[in-house]
Structure 1
């Protein structure tokens, strides 16, 4: 019996691995342009961190976290998202004492127990960025601009950016009561999960993906109508900044995100054709303080690498690969030839196959190499190699020193 991978934990290889690295490299390059510093977070945290930050009533905490006990009976969790761990690190290492504001980004696997499907796995990968210590709305606009730049750099067009404001704590209290009164009137149309959520955290109902629930809340009160003057001004300024940056967006007044820590600005980059959120984020101005740090406004985003990969075409092979073919007792010389080429920045495959030149060249064609570098005993004795252009068939002898 062969051992298979665990359901929802998948291998990424071949063309998919190239797409994965393209998303990662693109995001990293753009985050560098915005002067973000990398933080490498642990995969395992105390489960309490996510219960306190993400929220006890969220699906992530109630249904999706991988939680286990260590040998001392302490509850640990595989991280389901990256913001909570970054906030924990910000507090633990007193980064707030280093400079007026801090900009960090992370990359790595996250874990949620949900039904695997395209773009949704139990182990998935995110790249996220967080800004601590800035309350002004132009920071919100810049965070959204980063996501827009990443999408453009990947040439992903089938995406729209949705925005909303969840206001401050006082706004949420008034809105909560109004929404709860409305939900009680449509209780019979809600799924069993939303009936349970309703009294504890009615905003979670707005995030439900069940179609009957989505229909039931279409006429519900909107958070936008409960914003205080300061929060409304923040939201209106954000929209002005997005227009100044030529970022197209649409307002979605039911957008609340699936995490309890968000305040004021929330946004998603949504693929309408896939029905998936590709990038999402917003403000969480109270979270640092709630987790034991000083009062610190903060905001950020995370992108799903596998989800963006769904919208990328297969990469075309464009690298010039040099295939070094040794014949006879020339392996020491062949290794030197391969090393010489690599030192000049060339991509080199040293053949481990045995067989005549015809078979070796057939194998080179399968690899899609640009040049075959033939190294026989005659070439080795002269300190030369024979280079064959696999596209034109032209070949010539070159001195080792001229490689």
Structure 2
């Protein structure tokens, strides 16, 4: 079967599986009281992962699928920061003790929309409420268009160890079509500042499937990106969901690449990374051979969470800010997404949780299977099932549903072992979907598989 045939058959709307069960299945049954109880039940020795969502940008990129709001003045951003600081105090007070963190991640929006002194204040506040464990990583998503060397110095001064640079594409026509004008020289300058001031772990975000992109143009973008020697690159497919993000209606749909062209961009782009010595990590990440992601992959110790592929092993992820999603041993929680309601709830002294999901034993088992498929491109069902006191025979129905994928060379079965082939790697989410008991394939709330 050709690549085009596989695309036509399996390129369905599927979850990205950054969690299981996935966020669309969260419900209001989990609210502030449940979250408070879950927090109080944590073992004080549990290492934490902390995520802070800065829900503002200076202007809207039309490809953006994030929860963000445009602010032309700084006052709303400053007011939002005060609410986030109050939430940090509130949640820290619900924990059984002052706990330590191994990972601290800032996303958005644009975290660097904060003034440098306010960004420093945010990190200082978090580090006052949580102990920084040895070897902890502090990572920040950056918009290079607004970065200055003084800002980079401020980041370094409060312990930032990793920066993730949003690029998407260097082609001028593509940048104009998605409303993100960002010269190559500006990105190169920001990376030079980061390295000069000791922030040497650098990620870069690229996208395929954008308007006016071609396989040839995205290869040129990849070559220019790799000339800057990032440690990691995420290579995401653009998800065109204008029914969910109305600003995407500004993108000319007639300029979007066809499904076969998207596949070509993904496959040829992936080969470009590999040809330049990068290790393919999971579905859409590429890492230098000595990067922690590549090392974790080799040890089968790679994980996946709401930030994508990660070496983060913390059992609890606590999220701050509007629309932040946290993960605890007991289940998932989601913050209020509307900024005004978020601020009012926090200032009333209530955790701003509006939805969540208690994770049952079977959910944890299925989550482990899906995570290994997403990370290792394979899974030993017997081994994983045994860890949860189950039998691999419990999945006979799911295995029988893999028949088409097996017949088409996407996945190979050897007893209780499954292995996604190189041909099938772009369709690993279709394999995972067979183990997802919550899924209705094709729902518009999910993105294309490739």
Same-fold call, TM cutoff 0.5: no
Larger radius of gyration: 1
TM-score, scaled to structure 2: 0.21
TM-score, scaled to structure 1: 0.22
